[in-house]
């Protein structure tokens, strides 16, 4: 049986990254996976060669409109569209098609959070696409609707989970996350121009006002014994890709450095995409670019009695498209790692 896949929003950063990963997927190379409709709105009618020259295998393919007719009949539909479009698309294709959504439309369980941070009609909640969260993997294997997580919540959740689950820290977390400009998407914006970003660092939506804040809390709270508070501030850096997130939190009484090292090492020992670095080595974005990896480090500040956890990932790969393909692999019963790079390019 050949699995057919369509990508809505194929010419955006998320959509084109999904295509990049699928083109090296063993199922595609072996003929078990077929790339079907590539859809978009403003770029419909143009060729892949013009819009995405980094994908030469598809150079002659034409982008078609994002319509019900073009998306129906596929086994998997990936959605790389702006927020607010996913519910209607899911209705187009029907329940027989698996829909994997890279937007925020179905990430939040709580309507109150949606109203406060997004607004507009609340569409509900789908199974959440971080397989590394305990309990999620089995749910995803049986899902036909998946909400791919936000890139910041992926980094912060995976950095914070071992500390929260093992009760190593007090329940008040401060998060600073540096991100590359591709996280804002491909739409033209003055704030994303080279003249505005090169040689510059800028914090934005500080102190818990960013839309990803309730998603982070939603992920960590089930593993905490107390109410979790998260103060999250992102920082825009002149990078095409990458996130470096730093969590700091007060340590609970009696917690030792050895306990921290053991907790993080054991929590991710069986996770192929979570790499806890040796003591003294810090995550770097250059070591995860183009991969589905998260590099992690937990450092104990003995004098301040605080835990400092750092995480690096590629916001377009593990932070978006890689997570989408990882979920597809689970749903189809394939090896979870297929098509997903673990080794980065160096130097």
Active site residues: 151
What CA–CA distance (Å, rounded) separates 74 from 167?
Answer: 45
What CA–CA distance (Å, rounded) separates 45 from 38?
Answer: 11
Total Cβ atoms within 10 A of residue 55:
18
Q: Cα-flanking dihedrals φ and ψ of residue 90, to 5°?
A: -60, -35
What CA–CA distance (Å, rounded) separates 86 from 135?
Answer: 25
What CA–CA distance (Å, rounded) separates 17 from 103?
Answer: 14
- Pull the structure tokens for residue 330: 């689970």
Q: Cα-flanking dihedrals φ and ψ of residue 251, to 5°?
A: -85, 150
User: By the 8 A CB rule, do 5 and 74 touch?
Assistant: yes
């Amino acid at each position: 049986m050949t699995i057919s896949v369509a990508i809505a929003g194929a010419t955006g950063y998320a959509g084109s990254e999904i295509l990049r990963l699928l083109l090296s997927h063993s199922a595609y190379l072996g003929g078990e996976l077929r790339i079907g409709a590539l859809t978009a709105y403003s770029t419909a009618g143009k060729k892949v060669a013009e819009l995405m020259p980094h994908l030469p295998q598809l150079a002659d393919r034409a982008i078609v409109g994002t319509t019900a007719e073009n998306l129906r009949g596929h086994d998997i539909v990936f959605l790389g569209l702006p927020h607010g479009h996913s519910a209607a698309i899911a209705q187009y294709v029907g329940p027989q098609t698996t829909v994997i959504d890279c937007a925020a439309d179905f990430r939040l369980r709580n309507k109150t959070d949606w109203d406060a941070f997004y607004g507009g009609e609340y569409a509900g909640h789908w199974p959440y696409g971080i397989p590394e969260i305990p309990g999620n993997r089995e749910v995803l294997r049986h899902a036909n609707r998946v909400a791919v997580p936000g890139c910041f919540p992926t980094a912060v959740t995976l950095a914070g989970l071992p500390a929260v689950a093992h009760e190593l820290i007090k329940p008040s977390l401060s998060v600073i996350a540096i991100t590359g400009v591709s996280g804002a998407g491909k739409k033209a914006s003055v704030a994303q121009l080279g003249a505005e970003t090169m040689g510059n660092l800028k914090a934005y939506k500080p102190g818990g006002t960013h839309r990803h804040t309730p998603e982070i809390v939603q992920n960590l709270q089930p593993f905490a014994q107390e109410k979790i508070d998260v103060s999250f501030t992102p920082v825009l850096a002149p990078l095409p890709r990458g996130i470096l997130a730093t969590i700091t939190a007060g340590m609970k009484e009696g917690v030792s450095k050895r306990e921290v090292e053991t907790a993080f090492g054991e929590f991710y020992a069986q996770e192929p995409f979570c790499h806890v670095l040796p003591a003294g080595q810090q995550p770097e974005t250059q070591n995860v670019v183009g991969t589905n990896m998260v590099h992690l480090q937990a450092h104990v500040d003995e004098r301040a009695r605080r835990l400092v956890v750092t995480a690096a990932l590629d916001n377009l790969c593990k932070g978006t498209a890689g997570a989408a393909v990882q979920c597809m692999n689970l749903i189809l019963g394939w090896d979870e790692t297929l098509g997903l790079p673990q080794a980065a390019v160096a130097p």
